[in-house]
Structure 1
Amino acid sequence: MLIALTAKNKLGFIDGTCEKPYTTSPKLHQWERCNGFVLSWIMNTVSREIFNGIVYSTDDFSVWKDLRERFNKVNGSRIFSFHREIGCCAQGSFTVSAYYSKLRQFWDEYNSLVTLPSCGCPTSREYVEHNQQQKLLQFLMDLNDSYGAIRSQILMMSPLPTIGHTFSSCYYH
């Protein structure tokens, strides 16, 4: 939902940065039209049970805030579950492509729960690089033994390649 709202330049309606203009503003009609668009989009996306609780709402910011309070719960058990799923994910009978795609799905879902720092400072960049290195190691750890030689070559590289480069090397192996 956030991606679609960003693409439509409507994220400000749910994060509170696009405030409703005064009743005398010539932009009020345009704001109300966009607000209605975002509200209808939210209402058409949620389940029937949730829809019944927001059908009479007129402010998309308050609807989004309510939905976040109810459903955006990041707790230890969810994070633990993702770590367990990632840790138990092995190539096995999967192709390298299917194995990598499965890991990417877990990583993307995990990243939607845990926000990495993105301020651009050296510490933030180091943290993001460390996170990428962890993903690389997770990918390499549970590749089948037939990839042992390429795994050894990759681990000998300095600096270590990106996860995308590593996948490509394994895919064409």
Structure 2
Amino acid sequence: MEIALCSKRKLGFLTGVVKRPSNDPFREAAWDTCNCLLICWIMHYVEQPIKRFVMYTRTAKEIWDYLQKHFSVSNGARKFMLNRELDELSQEDKPICEYFTDINSIYAHLVP
């Protein structure tokens, strides 16, 4: 995805290099258009459960940061631990909101 966005000269929006201008209404509108385009592209490629977490986010950078924080795992041991805990987790007779909280707490403890 990074390569595709870089080829379209849009990666700077996600890294924060291209910030929303505040002194020129025309440039603000152009930035907003690019931001919405990036949000659409990202939403097209993520699965439905993930979309629910990021659908009300205002900028593509915020969505990108969330996705990197929660799904970018470079440490093999941490990845193994995450997979093991998620494999062992089951809803059993818990309400869905409690089960959901359990899943989120695993991510919160394992992702910096």
TM category, shorter:
0.5 to 0.7
SS in 2 for 1:42: helix
Q: CA deviation at 1:24?
A: 4.2
1:91-110 mapped onto 2 (5 Å cutoff): none
Q: CA deviation at 1:21?
A: 0.9
Question: What is the TM-score when the length of structure 1 is the normalising length?
Answer: 0.43
Report the counterpart of residue 56 of structure 1 in structure 2.
56
Question: What is the TM-score when the length of structure 2 is the normalising length?
Answer: 0.65
Partners of 1:23 and 1:4 in 2: CA distance:
30
1:20-169 mapped onto 2 (5 Å cutoff): 20-22=20-22, 24-77=24-77
- Summarize the Cα distance change of 1:7–1:54 in structure 2 as closer, same or farther, 3 Å threshold: same
- Summarize the Cα distance change of 1:78–1:39 in structure 2 as closer, same or farther, 3 Å threshold: same
The ranges of structure 1 where at least 4 consecutive aligned residues each deviate by more than 2 angstroms after the TM superposition are 23-26, 76-79
- Percent sequence identity over matched residues? 33
Report the counterpart of residue 13 of structure 2 in structure 1.
13
Q: Deviations over 1:82-135 (max 9, x none)?
A: xxxxxxxxxxxxxxxxxxxxxxxxxxxxxxxxxxxxxxxxxxxxxxxxxxxxxx
Gaps of 5+ in 2: 80-112
Gaps of 5+ in 1: 80-173
Q: Deviations over 1:42-93 (max 9, x none)?
A: 01100000011111111111110111000111113389xxxxxxxxxxxxxx
SS in 1 for 2:73: coil
SS in 2 for 1:17: coil
Report the counterpart of residue 146 of structure 1 in structure 2.
none
Bigger RCO (CA 8 Å, 6+ sep): 2
Q: Which amino acid aligns with 1:16?
A: G
Partners of 2:53 and 2:23 in 1: CA distance:
27
